[in-house]
């Protein structure tokens, strides 16, 4: 069942969204050459505990994972793109790091992801990050009453096509609200004018992710980390949004992040 949220409920989701944005900004600030993924994981655990928030990932056990997830953030490096299990890995110059976080505060959830380059950035890595960010903004722009779910999928696909990146349809966006995953799957590939008509109160997590040269994926032995099947590098951008009577409301927008450009998307902020 699809639950439409009231303006008051959306504001409560916005509280969680602002915290998620704060944490991801902090992860981007800390991600540097020589930093271990487990140190980032424990730093985020501390932030969540101090805020009195609840991780949506801890003990998460969907059908595709291997046992319950026992971390609070997904950290995926280079050819890894989704559900990256934090492990004993020290970031190197030029690594691409995708961080994905979902938390609940007072019973309402927000979910967001960003990708940064650690240290020296290669242009081809900046390019795929920009592609996911532009696809996300294109999807947000069409998330308006009267449009259809397929318009969102088509917007993401159109940006990927313009950049020449293939699109995987196994994992995409989703409904969100009282829990991390609610009704509606939002494919990153689709046809405009198709699917559910969008209505005010609908809250969605939109998350374009691309690999440079394949639409196929492989799982690590940990049963969680998803990589591009050919080892090509990847990027992932995600925001939680609410459809309103007017413009779509982005609940997880980071400070100093603008829809048109993000100076922090291409490299370490250090």
Instruction: Look at residue 55 and give its three-state secondary structure.
Output: strand
83 is in an annotated binding site: yes
CA dist 17 and 88 (Å) reads 29
Q: Give the end-to-end CA distance of the chain in Å, rounded to a whole number.
A: 45
100 is in an annotated binding site: yes
14 is in an annotated binding site: no
Question: Secondary structure of the chain: what % helix, strand, coil (to 5)?
Answer: 30, 25, 45
Instruction: Look at residue 37 and give its three-state secondary structure.
Output: helix
137 is in an annotated binding site: no
pTM over 0.85: yes
How buried is residue 37: exposed, middle or buried, by Cβ count under 10 Å (0-12/13-18/19+)? Answer: buried
Q: What is the pLDDT along the chain (270 residues), one digit of tens a residue?
A: 899 999 999 999 999 999 999 999 999 999 999 999 999 999 999 999 999 999 999 999 888 888 899 999 999 999 999 999 999 999 999 999 999 999 999 999 999 999 999 999 999 999 999 999 999 999 999 999 999 999 999 999 999 999 999 999 999 999 999 999 999 999 999 999 999 999 999 999 999 999 999 999 999 999 999 999 999 999 999 999 999 999 999 999 998 776 533 334 444 332
111 is in an annotated binding site: yes
């Amino acid at each position: 069942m699809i639950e439409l949220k009231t303006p008051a409920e959306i504001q409560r989701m916005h509280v969680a969204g602002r915290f998620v944005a704060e944490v991801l900004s902090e992860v981007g600030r800390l991600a540097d050459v020589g930093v271990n993924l487990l140190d980032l994981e424990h730093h985020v655990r501390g932030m969540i505990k101090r805020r009195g928030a609840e991780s949506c990932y801890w003990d998460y056990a969907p059908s595709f994972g291997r046992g319950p997830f026992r971390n609070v953030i997904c950290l995926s490096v280079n050819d890894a793109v989704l559900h990256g299990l934090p492990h004993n890995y020290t970031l190197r110059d030029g690594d691409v790091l995708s961080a994905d976080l979902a938390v609940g505060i007072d019973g309402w959830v927000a979910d967001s992801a960003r990708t940064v380059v650690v240290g020296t950035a290669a242009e081809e890595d900046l390019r795929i990050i920009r592609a996911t960010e532009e696809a996300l903004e294109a999807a947000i722009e069409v998330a308006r009453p009267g449009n259809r779910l397929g318009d969102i999928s088509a917007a993401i696909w159109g940006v990927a096509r313009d950049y020449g990146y293939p699109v995987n349809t196994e994992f995409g966006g989703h409904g969100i609200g009282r829990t991390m995953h609610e009704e509606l799957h939002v494919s990153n590939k689709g046809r405009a004018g198709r699917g559910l008509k969008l209505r005010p109160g609908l809250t969605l997590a939109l998350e374009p992710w691309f690999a440079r040269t394949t639409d196929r994926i492989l799982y690590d032995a940990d049963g969680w980390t998803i990589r591009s099947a050919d080892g090509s590098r990847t990027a992932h951008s995600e925001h939680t949004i609410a459809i309103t009577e007017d413009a779509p409301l982005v609940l997880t927008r980071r400070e100093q992040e603008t829809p048109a450009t993000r100076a922090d998307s291409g490299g370490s902020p250090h």
